[in-house]
Structure formats: structure tokens, C-alpha cells
Amino acid sequence: MNRRRPSRNLLRVFSAFSLVFAIVLTALATWSITDERRGSEAVAEVMDVEHRGARTFLTVQFTTNRDEVCESVLRVTVDANRAVTIGEYIRVHHAEGDPCLRVREAGDQSGWLIILVAVVLLITFTILTYVAWRRPRPPLPLRYAGMP
């Protein structure tokens, strides 16, 4: 069985673009987590509860530190908030940069998953880029050709 190997130039271009993608993804994930950490918590009133199979979505309304009134839909991940009804109050955490769009429950730690994925991709594509761009090893001398 004689398989054709991809060209070295194709591997180099793919690995370079993949490495740039992984670097950008890691930078964006780091910025996102930093913006989340700079945000603050607020007390939000539950305006609507929607059950979609095993998932529960809440529409909440809250006021930020800058007196900005926001209404947002968030997915329930904390077990204590699964039985919430309309009119109750829960604690939410919002980002500093765009508080009305990036809202999650207080105690939800799912934001760290993206940074883990980004770092794994960065390590993988760094290794791939190193392998694609390194100098090929010289062939063994003929006297070692038949040895295992």
C-alpha cells in the first residue's frame, strides 16, 4: 500500500493559519474572561421562565452599577435556580464591557471552558507548526538501510 503524502508546502500553510487562529482564539478567550472578572453582580427579577426539554431559560431584568436597565435571556446552570418562578429575584453576574448581552448566573463557572479549549488548540497547533517547518532529517547512510 503506497499512500500519497500531502505536500510539505500545504502542511506549512495549514499549520501557519491554524497557529494564527489558535493565537487569536486564546487572546479573545483571555479578553472575555478578563472582562467577565471586571464585571459585577446584580439582583435580577425573573420576567419569564421557559422550559425546553431538560434546559431552562430565564428572562431577567436588572440594573447595572451605571444605572443601565438591562433585560437578558440566560440559561440556568445552577441547580438552585431551576425551580424559580416569575417575579422572584436571583443573583446574576454581568460583564463590564457589554452588561446587557453577557449575563450569567452568579456561581456559574462555565466561562472557563473556552480558555481550556483555546490553550489545547494552541499547544496542538504549535507542535504541528514545529513539525511542518523543521528541517527534515537527513536519510540514514546506506550501510544502515537493512537494519531494524
Confidence (pTM): 0.69
50 has which bridge partners?
57
pLDDT per residue rounded down to tens, the chain (148 residues): 577 777 888 889 999 999 999 999 999 989 988 888 888 889 999 999 988 888 889 999 999 888 889 999 988 887 777 788 899 999 999 888 888 888 888 877 777 888 899 999 999 999 999 998 888 777 777 776 677 6
